[in-house]
């Protein structure tokens, strides 16, 4: 079945404050969508709410992946259904090696009695790490502990490439990356692009989109998608910034909670 | 001196038991003196734990276990802990040692490895000289009662310049709640010797409550190196009070590796006195509390020697309604220049009713030293659970990864592979996962 991910009327709040005010978005396998917008407009909240971060409460709407509403699922079930979030701030977990963690994640997909053989796993991990130009030593390091910002981001992409998701959300994957790392990460995304997989790339810089060409670009302000277009929209934002959109829509402060009551 | 305290052990019993054992007169005399002293001493006062309401009366009565000629005849609970093919082993069942063996090779080198009762007869001079020098009779009522009532136990003597590669092992089994269970371990490592000793405390099929009042003394003479590993996995019927002390002469070292896996209330106090210069003490404690256990773990390093170094590391996981106080006490005395004392206590609490209180204490009376501490107590971090689950790992597996991850760095540092894997298994069992 071709992948289809549909977000409808998604509203979410944190500690009683509504951040997402009704997000609608439709994605198909093979498509790359970019969500852009200045800071504080709800982009990362969208990513966290979709994955099921415990601090965010979804108050309305649905997000169906191939007909199933992931918002009804536990965090682990969302992952098993095919959702992946490359996080902006990945957790550090002492005592758990990167490879033990990844093997647990892969085995969770394969189920009891069908665990991946150690040899096969190591080969797979080594080859994925090589593609990301990661030092093999990182397999045996504790999960994200003492990793630099860029190393953590690469580690997120490593997980994405090994877990083979249907919908991959990349939350500010470009922040903290130097130009070489940015190119490596982008290559990895481009290589993984296929008919069954969709990407939702959240960024407030155009920079990443020089390496990954999006099929659709959406601009978020005040907790909503206020404008959508093709790659030319990203180019215009690169050139002119966001002010022209604000002007067009009569927005003075684009951050959440600053909208005029109608 | 008041004699109003009603002691759980009586002089008549001490005499009767001594007679049953055919004990040397000097030793019985010491026991009776200790008992007299006990009456005038107060209960120990571990930091932040009050012992007043603990039931510390379960001394039972002396019952020498039946000697066996082969480890095959031992109860399963003990047999399971014995390393296959070991030639250096002591097994105590209830009040007496029932099996003891030492390889001819070590025996020929002058190594003594026997129960302490036998040693008191056959190696009187050595035992007399060292017994009671690290754990003092006069410390408090419990230590005095220990010296009055101890039984079985281990005496290990490693002669000058003898280095032993294989670990020597002891197993202490309590499987009769009416039998006194109070082993005393005395290790004397002579000048420039080296030894590793590993023991296990285990209970099985107890039909009532009992007290383990145990003491461990390690005397390391100049340049000696001692590794002492112990795992306590006594059942919920057992209240475990264990005082462990090492006394270090110049350039000697002790490495404590301790697994606190009891099911019952526990007081464990592990201390090193760094008497000589250039001494080194390292203590690693891994602990799991569960049920409604009340626990006080203390590690302590007291520096007298110049350039002496100590490091203490405790990691404890508290489940269910377990309540633990975890003290780390670094004391640097005046004159212990260039001493370095470090300590870390970390507690992970797995349930809302579990409690773990990490309590680092630094007492420094000298300027020219280094000292440091780190302590933390907390619950499993929900962000970490979320992160692991976002990769498809179930909540139960995510918690397990985090708990093992919490203990793993300490387990990984255990120098004995056999003990490392065994401890790993016990941890898994105690975590019930």
Please classify residue B120 by burial: count the beta carbons closer than 10 Å to its beta carbon, then call 0-12 exposed, 13-18 middle and 19+ buried: buried
Is residue A151, in this structure, part of any structural domain at all? no
Please classify residue A81 by burial: count the beta carbons closer than 10 Å to its beta carbon, then call 0-12 exposed, 13-18 middle and 19+ buried: middle
Q: Is B413 on the interface with A (CB under 8 A)?
A: no
Question: Residue A54 belongs to what domain range?
Answer: 4-94+165-249
Domain count for chain A: 1
Closest residue, chain A, to B386 (C-alpha): A53
Q: Is B391 on the interface with A (CB under 8 A)?
A: yes
Q: Is B50 on the interface with A (CB under 8 A)?
A: no
B268 vs B287: CA distance, rounded Å: 11
Q: E-assigned strands of chain A?
A: 4-14, 17-28, 32-36, 56-65, 68-69, 83-86, 93-97, 142-143, 167-171, 198-202, 216-221, 224-229
Is residue A203, in this structure, part of any structural domain at all? yes
CA-based nearest distance B387→chain A, Å:
6
**Residue A215, token pair as written in the block:** 């099929």
H helix intervals, B159-268? none
Establish how many alpha carbons lie within 13 A of residue B359's alpha carbon, considering only the half-sphere containing its beta carbon: 17
B93 vs B122: CA distance, rounded Å: 22
CATH number at residue A70: 3.40.50.300
DSSP code of residue B61: B
Is residue A23, in this structure, part of any structural domain at all? yes
Cα→Cα distances B157→B127, B164, B196, B245, B416, Å = 10, 11, 12, 16, 21
Q: Is B387 on the interface with A (CB under 8 A)?
A: yes
B17 vs B152: CA distance, rounded Å: 12
**Residue A71, token pair as written in the block:** 């918002």
For the complex shown, is ipTM > 0.90? yes
CA-based nearest distance B388→chain A, Å:
8
Answer whether B78's CB lies under 8 Å from B301's CB: no
- Radius of gyration, alpha carbons of chain B: 21
Element (H, E) at A112: none
Is residue A126, in this structure, part of any structural domain at all? no
Cα→Cα distances A165→A21, A106, A245, B51, B299, Å = 27, 11, 33, 57, 49
Interface residue ranges in chain A relative to chain B, Cβ cutoff 8 Å? 51-54, 74-76, 78-80, 84-85, 87, 90-91, 93-96, 100-102, 104-105, 108-109, 142, 159, 163
In order along its 433 residues, chain B shows pLDDT tens digits of 444 568 899 999 999 999 999 999 999 999 999 999 999 999 999 999 999 999 999 999 999 888 999 999 999 999 989 888 889 999 999 999 999 999 999 999 999 999 999 999 999 999 999 999 999 999 999 999 999 999 999 999 999 999 999 999 999 999 999 999 999 999 999 999 999 999 999 999 999 999 999 999 999 999 999 999 999 999 999 999 999 999 999 999 999 999 999 999 999 999 999 999 999 999 999 999 999 999 999 999 999 999 999 999 999 999 999 999 999 999 999 999 999 999 999 999 999 999 999 999 999 999 999 999 999 999 999 999 999 999 999 998 999 899 989 998 888 888 778 888 888 888 888 887 5
Taking an 8 Å cut-off on Cβ atoms, the answer to whether A75 and B390 are in contact is yes
Give just the sign of the alpha carbon dihedral A69, A74, A79, A81.
Answer: negative
């Amino acid at each position: 079945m071709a992948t289809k991910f549909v977000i409808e009327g998604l509203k979410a709040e944190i500690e009683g404050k509504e951040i997402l005010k009704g997000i609608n978005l439709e994605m198909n396998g093979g498509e790359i969508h970019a969500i852009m917008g200045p800071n504080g407009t709800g982009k990362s909240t969208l990513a966290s709410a979709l994955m099921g971060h415990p601090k965010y409460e979804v108050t309305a709407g649905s997000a169906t992946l191939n007909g199933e509403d992931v918002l009804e699922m536990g965090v682990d079930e969302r992952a098993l259904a095919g959702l992946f979030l490359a996080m902006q701030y990945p957790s550090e977990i002492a005592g758990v090696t990167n490879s033990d963690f990844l093997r647990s994640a892969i085995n969770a997909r394969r189920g009891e009695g069908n665990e991946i053989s150690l040899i096969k796993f190591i080969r797979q991990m080594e080859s994925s790490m090589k593609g990301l130009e990661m030092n093999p030593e990182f397999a045996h390091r504790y999960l994200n502990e003492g990793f630099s910002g860029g190393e953590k981001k690469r580690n997120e992409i490593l997980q994405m490439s090994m877990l083979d998701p249907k919908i991959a959300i990349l939350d500010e994957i470009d922040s903290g990356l130097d130009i070489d790392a940015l190119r490596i990460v982008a290559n990895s995304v481009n290589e993984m692009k296929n008919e069954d997989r969709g990407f939702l790339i959240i960024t407030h810089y155009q920079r990443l989109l020089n390496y990954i060409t999006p099929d659709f670009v959406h601009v978020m302000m005040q907790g909503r998608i206020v404008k959508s277009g093709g790659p030319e929209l990203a180019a215009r934002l690169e050139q002119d910034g966001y002010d022209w959109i604000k002007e067009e829509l009569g927005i003075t402060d684009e951050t959440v909670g600053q909208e005029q009551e109608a | 001196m008041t004699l109003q305290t009603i002691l759980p052990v009586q002089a008549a019993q001490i005499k009767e038991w001594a007679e049953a054992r055919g004990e040397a007169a000097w030793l019985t005399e010491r026991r009776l003196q200790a008992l007299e002293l006990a009456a005038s001493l107060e209960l120990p006062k571990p930091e932040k734990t009050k012992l007043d309401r603990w039931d510390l009366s379960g001394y039972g009565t002396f019952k020498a276990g039946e000697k066996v000629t082969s480890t095959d005849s031992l109860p399963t609970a003990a047999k399971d802990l014995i390393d296959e093919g070991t030639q250096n082993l002591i097994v105590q069942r209830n009040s007496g040692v029932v099996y003891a063996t030492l390889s001819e090779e070590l025996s020929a080198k002058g190594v003594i490895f026997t129960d302490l009762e036998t040693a008191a007869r056959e190696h009187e001079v050595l035992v007399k000289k060292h017994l009671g020098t690290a754990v003092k009779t006069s410390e408090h009522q419990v230590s005095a009662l220990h010296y009055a009532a101890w039984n079985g136990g281990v005496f290990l003597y490693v002669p000058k310049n003898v280095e032993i590669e294989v670990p020597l092992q002891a197993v202490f089994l309590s499987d009769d709640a009416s039998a006194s269970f109070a082993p005393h371990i005395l290790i004397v490592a002579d000048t420039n010797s080296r030894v590793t000793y590993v023991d296990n405390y285990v209970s099985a099929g107890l039909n009532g409550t009992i007290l383990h009042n145990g003491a461990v003394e390690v005397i390391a003479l100049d340049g000696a190196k001692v590794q002492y590993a112990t795992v306590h996995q006594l059942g919920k019927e057992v209240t475990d009070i264990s005082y462990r002390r090492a006394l270090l002469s110049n350039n000697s070292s002790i490495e404590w590796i301790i697994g606190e896996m009891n099911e019952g209330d526990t007081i464990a106090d592990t201390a090193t006195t760094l008497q000589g210069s250039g001494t080194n003490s390292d203590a690693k404690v891994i602990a799991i509390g569960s049920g409604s256990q009340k626990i006080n773990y203390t590690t302590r390093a007291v520096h007298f020697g110049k350039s002496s170094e100590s490091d203490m590391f405790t990691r404890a996981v508290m489940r269910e309604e377990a309540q633990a106080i975890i003290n780390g006490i670094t004391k640097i005395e005046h004159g212990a220049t260039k001493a370095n004392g470090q300590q870390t206590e970390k507690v992970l609490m797995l349930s809302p009713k579990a409690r773990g209180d990490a309590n680092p204490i630094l007492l420094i009376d000298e300027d020219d030293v280094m000292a440091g501490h780190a302590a933390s107590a907390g619950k499993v971090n929900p962000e970490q659970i979320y992160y692991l689950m976002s990769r498809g790992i179930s909540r139960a597996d995510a918690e397990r990864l985090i708990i093992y991850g919490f203990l793993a760095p300490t387990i990984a540092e255990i120098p004995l592979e056999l003990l490392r894997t065994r401890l790993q298994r016990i941890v898994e069992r105690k975590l019930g996962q």
